[in-house]
Amino acid sequence: MAGPMGRMMAGGGPDQHSMDFKGSGKRLLAQFKPEKSTMYAMLACTVLSVGLSVLGPWILGKATDLVFAGVVGRQMPEGATKAEVLASMRQRGEGAVADMLQGTDFTPGEGIDFTAVGHVLLIALAVFMVAGLLMAVATRLSNRAINHTVARMRQDLQAKLSRLPLSYFDQRQRGEVLSRATNDIDNIGQTLQQSMGQLVNSLLTIVGVLVMMFWVSPLLALVALVTVPLSFVVATRVGKRSQPHFVQQWRTTGKLNAHIEEMYTGHTLVKVFGRQEESAKQFAEENERLYEAGFKAQFNSGVMQPLMFFVSNLNYVLVAVVGGLRVATGALSIGDVQAFIQYSRQFSMPLTQVASMANLVQSGVASAERVFELLDAEEQESDPPPLSASLERGDPHPGARPEEL
């Protein structure tokens, strides 16, 4: 069926092609170039905040060592040295306990030094407070950069629509074009708001925690890294399965929006030509496609977080077992193991957060590709400058030589 009614019933639209996730993602990040100074300030605040945050568990581990040393020292005979106490324990056949206490800095006969513990806890409190303040500043800067960038994209899209030829709109449903300028732009903004700052923080946290883990215990750090390849396999496999469904979800959203808009504006024509049943049938079909695409996209991407939690718990068990053995041999203090277990959680949590945001990122990049496809559309050729009235009448132009007259 030709003409507007034909497009209305057939649901014609732009050519569909596979998702270029990497290219569209890079192009979306390139939109932040005008906000370079704000992004650098945000990155600096995030680096400082993460740096202080990863120091926190190590400081708390020192407080635990002070408490444990006080408890052990209070049970030992006063006046003896640490070496004498450990030697006496080995003579009594308590070599395993002596090995464990070898790494504890206790003084026989002295209890818990609450003053020292209080100082350490105050330092930890100050570190966490400053880290939280810096993260709040980084979040504010990130939101400012994102809002400015999305506003520019809306302006670019509005300017682009005014430069497109009529043939572009004639070949596409108006609602589908409007969906790119409204739904997709809004989805990009929501995706960036919910994921960009968290992604930067998570990646920096992974690096910072990894450095601290190798500093505390290289062996336990290697144990913690055993599960990283498994996390990578889970993320890539699930991401590849869910990405096509996100692309289809937003394409179907555009089609459904176009159908509703054209049925509303052409309500009189639909009734005159008796197309009510056909219109309702097409709506039901598009709605069912949207449901299927959305369900598959959310289900496949939602599976990632439980799988990452399983990997995180597996990592926790490995670190706890190996760390306990290291404490038993005196190679590590209890405070170091406590700090390392916290680091293992801090290391696994960003991986889980990044995995849980995969659906947001995939959805946002899918919308970005649709917006960029519209921005890259061929524009209408500019009209040539109008001739002056004198030249149109054949009058000589100023400065013409006699032989040209």
Q: What confidence tens digit (pLDDT) does each residue in 28-86 have?
A: 889 999 999 999 999 999 999 999 999 999 998 888 888 887 787 777 777 777 777 77
Find the domain containing 190 and state its range. 32-376
Alpha-carbon distance values, 205 to 28, 231, 232, 340 (Å): 24, 16, 17, 14
CB-neighbour burial class of residue 309 (10 A; exposed 0-12, middle 13-18, buried 19+): middle
Separation CA 344–CA 192 (nearest Å): 28
Residue 137 is predicted with a pLDDT of: 96
| Total structural domains within the chain | 1
Q: Which amino acid does the sequence have at 283?
A: F
Residue 46 is predicted with a pLDDT of: 94
The predicted-structure confidence for 361-390, as pLDDT tens digits, reads as follows: 878 888 888 888 888 888 777 656 665 555
Tell which residue, 260, 58, 268, 91, has the closest CA to residue 179. 260
Q: Does residue 11 lie within any of the structural domains? A: no
Q: Does residue 45 lie within any of the structural domains? A: yes
DSSP class per residue in 270-325: HHHTT-HHHHHHHHHHHHHHHHHHHHHHHHHHHTHHHHHHHHHHHHHHHHHHHHHH
Tell which residue, 309, 104, 334, has the closest CA to residue 217. 334
Average pLDDT over residues 94-123: 78
Q: Does residue 289 lie within any of the structural domains? A: yes
Residue 1 is predicted with a pLDDT of: 38
DSSP class per residue in 36-62: HHHHHHHHHHHHHHHHHHHHHHHHHHH
Average pLDDT over residues 77-99: 72
At 4, the pLDDT band (50, 70, 90 cuts) reads very low
Q: Does residue 274 lie within any of the structural domains? A: yes
Q: Does residue 154 lie within any of the structural domains? A: yes
Q: Does residue 397 lie within any of the structural domains? A: no
Quote the DSSP letter at residue 1. Answer: -
Most confident of 127-141, 195-209, 232-246: 127-141
Q: Does residue 126 lie within any of the structural domains? A: yes
The predicted-structure confidence for 141-197, as pLDDT tens digits, reads as follows: 999 999 999 999 999 988 888 888 888 877 777 777 888 888 889 989 988 988 888
Name the residue with higher pLDDT: 395 or 52.
52
CATH number at residue 332: 1.20.1560.10
Q: Which residues contact 230 (CB under 8 A, 6 or more apart)?
A: 311, 314
pLDDT at 350 over 70: yes
Q: Does residue 390 lie within any of the structural domains? A: no
